[in-house]
Structure 1
Amino acid sequence: MNLRSAFVMGSALLVGAVTSADAEELRYAVGYPPGAAAIDAAESAAKIIANASGGELTVKVYTSALLSFGEMEGGIRDGIADIGYMVTPYFPKDFPRTNLLNDMSMQLSNVGADVNKIAGMAYGGAMMEYIILNCPDCLAEYKAQNMVFTGVGPTASYHLLCNQPVTSAEALKGKRLRAGAGQWNRWAVALGASPVQITGQESLEAMKQGIIDCTVLSTVTALKDFQLINAVTDITLGVPGGVFAATPATTVNADVWKGLDTKKRSAFLRGAAYMSAAIPFIDHSRETAVVEEAAGKGIKTHEPEADLKAATASFLAQDASTVAELYSKAFGVANAPDMMAAFRPLLEKWVGLVNGIASVEDLAALYEQEIYSKIDFENYGN
C-alpha cells in the first residue's frame, strides 16, 4: 500500500454517524484574504478533520476578517480563535527557537546541489520533526502563550525578482531590496545591497515608484499573490535561496486542545499534517506555470553568475555563527549552536525523503508516518 492510500484509508476508517449533540466546532483563523491558496488548503484540512473524527470534530475557516497575522498570537492565546495560522517573526521575543530555525533556511543550499524544487517540503518536515519530537524548549514557548504547536507550512524557495537584470554580485551592489526576514537582510547587506523594510504587500507600489529595485520572495507569492507580475522584468533563480518557514499554520489554543479526547486529537493532527503538506507542495507545484505566465509577459529568468554564487556561499559560511550569536545574546537561546547542529542531519534526511513526492496526500502521509504517528496523543500539549 502506498503512502497516499494509507493516508486516505486511515481517514476513511474513522468516519461514522454522530449526532449534532456530540459534534464540536472549532474556529480557524487563517489570516489570508478570501481566495488565497492557504484558505483553500485550510478548507480541505477541515474536511479531513471532520471525516477522521466521524463528524465529532468540525472546523470553520475564517479569513483575515477575524484576525490579521499581527493579531494572531493574542487571538489564539485568548480564545478569539481556537486555531490560528501563526507567523512567528511578528512575535520575536515569544518564539525565538522557531524563528532561529527559520532564520537558517538559506543553509539548504549546503545540503544539496538542487533543492529549489523541494525546499519547502523538506524544510517543513525537518522543522516539524525537530520541534515536535526533539525540542521540549520549543514546545514550552507555545505553552507559555497558551498554545500547542502542531505543524508549519513553509513557502517554496526564495528568488531575486527585480525591475532590471541582477545576475552578478557587482550588479547587486547598491540595489534596494525588500528582503523580509533576518537572513535575507543580512545577505543583502553582506553583498552591498540596501534592505528596505516594507511588507510583501507593499512591494508592487514600491517597485512601481522606484522605492525598491528588487524583492526577495517565492515566485508564486511575488508574482501572483502580490501581483508583482505587473512590475518585475527579471528573475534570478536560486539566489538568495532558503524558504520562509516560521509559519505554525495550525496552532491550537491550549485550553481547547486539553478539552479534546485522543480520537479528536488524532483527527485534528491528520488535518494538521495535510495543511503542513499543502502549503509548500502547492507553492512548489505552481512555480512552473507562474514562471511560464511571466515569460509570456516578457519577464526574463536568469541563472546567477559565478561571482554571485560564490559571494552567497561565502556569506553562508559566516552566517551560521552569526545566527547562533544573535539568538543567544538577543533572545537568551543559550543552546543555539546545539540546536543548529542537531537540526542539520534532520534537514539532510528530509531532503532525501521528499524526493519523488507526487501529491499533497503523499506528502501529508509522509509527515504522518515520520512525525505525527510518533506523538503520544494523550499527553502531547498537556
Structure 2
Amino acid sequence: MHIKRLLAGATALTIASVAYPSLADEYNANHFFAERHSLVRGPYVEFAEKVKEATNGEIDFRVFSGGSLIPANASLQGVRDGVAQVTYHAGTYTPAELPVENLIGNMAFYNTDPFVMAMASTEFSMTNPAALDEWKKNGVVFGGGYSTSEYYMICNKPVETLADVKGKRMRMAGGAWSRFAEYVGAVPVSIPSSEMYTGLDTGSLDCAVTPGDSIDSFSLSDVINSMNTLAIGNYYAGFLWGYNKSLWEGLTPELRSILFDQMAYFLAKGRVEFSADVDKAIENAKAEGMAIYEPDDALKAALDEFVASDEAALIAAAKERGVENPEAILTEFKAVVDRWDGLLEGVDRTDVDALAALARTEIYDKLDPATYGVD
C-alpha cells in the first residue's frame, strides 16, 4: 500500500510538472563592459529583469559584467559552448570566425550616424543569407546589434593637426581603424577597451580612439587631457545579444517573441542612453579642463582620402578569409543602411518608444519566432 501511494504521488507530481512548468534554471548573460556602461545597464541588467517578468520567470538571466564570466576575446566561444546563454561580442576579436560580420563592420565610415548603424546592422545580420550562415556555423543565434557613438582621439597630450598625429601610439579597434592610423602615420595598438586606462596611464598609449562616453565609463578622465573631434567611424561588428543555439531552440515561439519584443526596446534604449552618456562625459571633462581640438584641414582631408580608397582593402581581406562575392554583400549592406537613413529622418533621437516601434515593425515583426534561428 505504501509503495502504491509513493507511485501515485510520483505520477501526480509528473503530471503537475507537465501542466505547470517549474521556474527555469538561471541562465548566464555575459558582457565584458562594466555594469555602469549604457550597453550593460539597459540591454543586460534591465533587460534581464523585464524578460523574467514578461516570461513569468521561465527565462531568468543572471548578468555577469566586466568580463567576470568570459573575457572579451572568448565571448563568441563562450556562448557557443554554453558558458553563457547570451552574450555581447565585438567582432574584431574573431575575424577568422566572423569574416562577413567584419566585412560590414569595417564599413565604419560609410555612415557614422550611430542610430542608423545600430538598426541597419541588426536588420542585415538577421536577414542576409551569408550573415545567417555565419552565425549558424558558429553555433550562435543573432539576437540584435548595436552601434557605438562616433570614435574620437582621446589623448594624454595635445593632438590637433595631421602633423601631431604622426608617430602617436593610438589604441584602435583593429581593421579599418588600424589601417587609418597607418595611413596618417600613427602607430595602431590593438588592445581591449578594458586596457585603455592602463595604456594611457603608463604612457604606452598617447591616445585611445574610442567613443566619448569612455571618458566616464572607462574612467579615462583620470589619464587624459585632450580630445580631437575628428569622427573616426563607429563600431557595430558582432552582436549585442548572441544566444546559445541549444538554449534558443529549446524555447517556445511564444518565449522567443517576448525576447524579440524586449530586444527591440532595449536596442533603442541602449542607443539613446549611449548618446546621452557621450554628451555628459564630454561636458564634464571640458568643465574639468580637458582641451577640445578641431581637426585641421589636412587631417580631415586625410580621412576623406582614406575612406575613398579603403573599400578595396576590405574586399581583399574578405576574399582572403573565404567570403564569396563580398562586393555583393557590401552592396546589400549599403542598401540597408540607406533605407534606415531614410526611416530615421526626422525621428526624435531621444524618443525610446518611437525608435523601439521602428525596430519592431521594420525588423522583429518580420521574423517568424517559430523558425528564426532554428534548423
TM-score (norm 1): 0.86
1:204-243 equivalent positions in 2, closer than 5 A: 204-221=197-214, 223-240=215-232, 242-243=233-234
The one-letter amino acid paired with 1:174 is G
Question: How many angstroms apart in 1 are the aligned matches of 2:248 and 2:193?
Answer: 33
- In the TM superposition, structure 1's runs of 4+ consecutive aligned residues that sit over 4 Å from their partners are 22-25
Is 2:331 aligned against 1:350?
Answer: no
- Aligned residue for 2:59? 57
Cα deviation for residue 65 of structure 1 reads 2.4
Instruction: Pick the aligned partner of 1:315 from 269, 283, 306.
Output: 306
> Are residues 285 and 19 of structure 1, via their aligned partners in 2, closer, same or farther at CA, if it must alter by over 3 Å?
farther
- Aligned residue for 1:102? 105
Query: Which range is displaced more, 313-322 or 38-47?
Result: 38-47
- Aligned residue for 2:38? 37
The one-letter amino acid paired with 2:309 is Q
Structure 1 contact 46–271 (Cα < 8 Å) conserved = no
Structure 1 contact 120–154 (Cα < 8 Å) conserved = yes
Deviation readout 1:227-270 (Å, 9 max, x if unpaired): 22122222111332x11112412111111111111110100112
- Aligned residue for 1:80? 83
Aligned to 1:250, what secondary structure does the other structure show?
strand
Is 2:141 aligned against 1:148?
Answer: yes
Q: Structure 1, unaligned stretches of length 5 or more?
A: 1-17, 109-114
1:316-335 equivalent positions in 2, closer than 5 A: 316-329=307-320, 331-335=321-325
CA RMSD after TM alignment: 2.1
Percent identity between the aligned chains?
Answer: 28
Question: How many angstroms apart in 2 are the aligned matches of 1:283 and 1:309?
Answer: 25
Structure 2 contact 180–303 (Cα < 8 Å) conserved = yes
The one-letter amino acid paired with 1:37 is S
- Aligned residue for 1:336? 326
Question: How many angstroms apart in 2 are the aligned matches of 1:275 and 1:146?
Answer: 24
Question: How many angstroms apart in 2 are the aligned matches of 1:147 and 1:225?
Answer: 28
Question: How many angstroms apart in 1 are the aligned matches of 2:187 and 2:228?
Answer: 18
Cα deviation for residue 347 of structure 1 reads 1.3
Count of residue correspondences: 352
Q: Structure 2, unaligned stretches of length 5 or more?
A: 1-18
Cα deviation for residue 54 of structure 1 reads 4.7
Structure 1 contact 25–59 (Cα < 8 Å) conserved = yes
Question: How many angstroms apart in 1 are the aligned matches of 2:178 and 2:79?
Answer: 29
> Are residues 213 and 65 of structure 1, via their aligned partners in 2, closer, same or farther at CA, if it must alter by over 3 Å?
closer
Cα deviation for residue 55 of structure 1 reads 4.4
Bigger-Rg structure (1/2): 2
Question: How many angstroms apart in 1 are the aligned matches of 2:130 and 2:317?
Answer: 18
Query: Which range is displaced more, 123-132 or 82-91?
Result: 82-91
Is 2:129 aligned against 1:123?
Answer: no
1:292-307 equivalent positions in 2, closer than 5 A: 292-307=283-298
> Are residues 322 and 25 of structure 1, via their aligned partners in 2, closer, same or farther at CA, if it must alter by over 3 Å?
same
Question: How many angstroms apart in 1 are the aligned matches of 2:257 and 2:312?
Answer: 39
> Are residues 178 and 32 of structure 1, via their aligned partners in 2, closer, same or farther at CA, if it must alter by over 3 Å?
closer
Deviation readout 1:88-128 (Å, 9 max, x if unpaired): 222221111111111111222xxxxxx5xxx2221011111
Question: How many angstroms apart in 2 are the aligned matches of 1:362 and 1:28?
Answer: 27
Cα deviation for residue 165 of structure 1 reads 2.8
Is 2:38 aligned against 1:46?
Answer: no
Aligned to 1:285, what secondary structure does the other structure show?
helix
Structure 2 contact 170–189 (Cα < 8 Å) conserved = yes
Structure 2 contact 272–350 (Cα < 8 Å) conserved = no
- Aligned residue for 1:257? 248
Query: Which range is displaced more, 72-81 or 18-27?
Result: 18-27
Deviation readout 1:3-55 (Å, 9 max, x if unpaired): xxxxxxxxxxxxxxx96626565321223344443332112212332344354
- Aligned residue for 1:8? none
Is 2:82 aligned against 1:89?
Answer: no
- Aligned residue for 2:368? 376
Aligned to 2:82, what secondary structure does the other structure show?
coil
Structure 1 contact 50–267 (Cα < 8 Å) conserved = no
Structure 2 contact 171–191 (Cα < 8 Å) conserved = yes
The one-letter amino acid paired with 2:63 is V
